[in-house]
Each structure stands twice: as structure tokens, then as C-alpha cells.
Amino acid sequence: MVSKSQAQPERSVLFLDQAGEMGGAQLSLLDLAAAYPREAASVFLFSDGPFRKRLTERGVDVAVAAGAGNFLTVPRGASAFGVLRGVTALGKLVRQVAKRARGYRVIHANSQKALLVGALAARLSGRPLVWHLRDILTAEDTSRTVHWIARTFANKFCTLVIANSDATAQAFREIGGKAPVRLIHNGIDPERFGPDIAAQPRPADIPANAPLIGVFSRLSAWKGQHVAIDALARVEGAHLLLVGGALFGQQPYEARLRAQAESLGLKGRVHFLGDQSDVAGWMRACDVILHSSVQAEPFGRVVVEGMLSERPVVATDAGGVPEIIDRDETGLLVPPRDADAMAAAITALLSDPARADRTAKAGRAAAEQRFSVQTYIANVQAALAEVAEGRLSDAA
């Protein structure tokens, strides 16, 4: 990790995030915020939850907003009317952030709702704003209203947009984003994964010789666990581990997955493990790591984690994932929503252990070299320092 003594000067950055729950964006912010001295940076959350606890455990100064209310319940696909419902809560939130921001040199918004709050707070406080764009803004899962808000507020208020993949950056440009953009891929600490991590013992109801396929993601339709179950039906004798809970109102989707497994005669071969603290141990227990998203993934953090775990990865070929995997060398890529192609890729690895081992080792080496957490932190810190000091160089 980057030494805290090497981080930016005192009271450098106020980080904003809307989520109390843990997700990929929160894990990336956790590493970044923890690299600063406690007195130099703070995280302000719009809602409470496990993320606050994780930040506190890492020594990060963190506070939670009072009364974010309806603002946080506005969905990504909201209409203009839906957005307006949260205006009153938005005003209260903006005032809280603006008051805090006056003690910092730069505001870092870690999500779309954080962009909206951060932009208005930046104007009130006179502080520069950086938006860390971690979503692909496409018509597939975001409304025209959300696109309008994103491009308008980014173009008018952001000194810099940090994109977590080239795919993310390109989607921003395609909706009319004109603010300076810098590409900085996420980074992950290889020490948290890899061959030295002990594998979790397999559940007692899984035969010792049964291949294990693991999907590591919150249960959500766009994460494609239903496609993974369809693929499992085409892979003889394999068992599927679904590691991740049903967050953000996705409990009906979990019920749908359970019914799907039962209807396909796979009830005893699909295992719902929920949220697990030892993700690395569960990855090490698997024979294949499967990324099954049906929509373009902005980056694909779990893909890198699987590669670092030295397990062969099969992933959907969309969004930022092709920027991570070299096709048929460091992993296998398949079209989204294609259960047949997914099953064929899994079978190819399970039936050829030598190929699976080569792929796994090549994946680990590539992930260590290209997605270092130290490089990620250093690059983001440098960008934030440039913005705070008014010396922003040309963005990508």
C-alpha cells in the first residue's frame, strides 16, 4: 500500500459517497481514503451502513449525513418527476457538505448522486470538484434525465472527471460529457488474494470431486446470475457458488433465481452463500471464476480479483472487461447473455487442466502488473493534488 506519510497535505480531500452498503466503488474508495493520514482526508456518507464500519476499521475519519431522505431513493432510471421528489432532502444535504468542504482543498464525488450534491456544494464552498465516474452511462440502464444531470453537472462544475475504464470514459463522451477526463483503472492489493490464501472448505453437500464455479457479486439482474444458472445446466456435474447478497431491493430477484434453479433440476447444485467476509478464500475454493454480467461492466473488479486468486476466469465481453482480459491468454471472454458460450468456455477449462493452469497463472501475472493498488492510489492522489493546486495537466 501507499505509505500514509506520502499522502497529500493536511485536510486535502473531502470524499463523498451515497452508499452505506459495500460495492466495488466503495471498496476502491476504501483503499484510496485509507492511504491518507486521518487528519488529511475525510469521507462523508449520505447513508449509514457497513461501509462506515469498514472505513472506521481502516482508520479513516468518516461522518454520516443527517436526513438525506427521499434523495437517496431516486433510482438511476428516474424520470424528471422522480428526481424532483428528492429536491428538499437534496438542499439539506448540499448545505451539510458545503459547510464541511470549506475545510478541504478539493471535493471528490464517488458516485452519480455524490456528483449532484458535490457540484452544488462546490459552488457554495468555492472548492474544486472531481467526479470519479464508475458507471457506464448508457440508455440500457439509465434514463435521459440521469444523462442530462450527469453531463450538465459534470460539464459545468467538475474540474476533472476520473474514469475507471476507457469504456466508461467513452460512454460519458457519447452522452455529451465535455469535462476533462483522465483514465485511471482501479487497483487491487494482490496480498489479499493469491496462492497463499487458504481455500474455504467446500460445503458438506457438495461432492469432493464436483467442479466448483463461483460468481462473486451482489444478486442483481444486471449481474446475470440467471445466465450463470442456465450455463450450469449445460455443464455436467458442476456446482455453482453464488457469493453475494440481495442488496438495494433485489430480494425478488433472489427468489426468482431459487425458483429457476429448482425448475431446471439444479436446486442441489446452486448454493446461495450470501455475503462472505473471506471472498479470497472462496475464490481459491473454486475451479473457475465466472463473471456473468448482462450489461457492460464499467470496470470489472471481480475479474481482477479472480485473476489475482490464480483461478481461470470466464467473463462477459463488454464494457471495461476487455481492458482487463487478454482474450484466451489471461482469461476467456464470452458474449453477454449467452449461456451456451459461457458453458462451452467453462467446459473447455474443466476438461483441460493444463490450459486452466496456464490461464490462471497468466491472469495472476497480468493483474499484478497492470492493476496495482499502489499505482491506482498514486495516480488518483496526483490528480487530486493537481486539481487542488490549480495545475491540472492535460487529461486523457
pTM for the complete prediction? 0.88
What is the pLDDT, as a whole number, of residue 7?
43
- Write the pLDDT tens digit of every residue in 181-238: 999 999 999 999 988 899 999 999 999 999 999 999 999 999 999 999 999 999 999 9
Looking at 3.30.465.10, 3.20.20.70, 3.20.20.10, 3.40.50.2000, the CATH number of the domain 4-187+372-388 comes to 3.40.50.2000
Contact 76, 138 (CB under 8 A): no
**CA–CA separation, 346 and 326 (whole Å):** 17
Q: How confident is the model at residue 73 (pLDDT cuts 50, 70, 90)?
A: low
Q: What is the mean pLDDT of residues 287-307?
A: 96
- Closest residue by Cα to residue 320 from 225, 184, 179, 200: 184
> Mean pLDDT across the stretch 334-354?
98
313-316 and 288-290 as β-strands: parallel, antiparallel, unpaired?
parallel
* Residue 52 confidence (pLDDT) above 90: yes
Are 16 and 44 within 8 A, CB to CB? yes
Flag the least confident range among 11-25, 67-81, 363-377.
67-81
Q: pLDDT category, 140, cuts 50, 70, 90?
A: low
Q: What is the DSSP string of 257-285?
A: HHHHHHHTT-GGGEEEEE--S-HHHHHHH
Q: How far is residue 352's CA from residue 363's CA, in Å, rounded to a whole number?
A: 17
What pLDDT does residue 70 have?
Answer: 52
Please state which CATH number belongs to domain 190-370: 3.40.50.2000
pLDDT tens-digit map of 249-293: 778 999 999 999 999 999 899 999 999 999 999 999 999 999 999
> What is the rounded CA–CA span in Å between residue 298 and residue 362?
23
Nearest to 105 by CA among 6, 14, 31: 14
Q: Which residues of 169-211 form beta strands (DSSP E)?
A: 181-183
pLDDT digits (tens, 9 = 90+) for 316-326: 999 999 999 99
Q: What angle do CA 131, 136, 139 make, to 5 degrees?
A: 125
| Residue pair 155/119 in contact by the 8 Å Cβ criterion | no
pLDDT band (50, 70, 90) for residue 1: very low
Strand partners, 240: 213, 270
> 353: exposed, middle or buried (C-beta count within 10 Å: 0-12, 13-18, 19+)?
exposed
Q: In the chain, where does the domain assigned CATH 3.40.50.2000 lie?
A: 4-187+372-388, 190-370
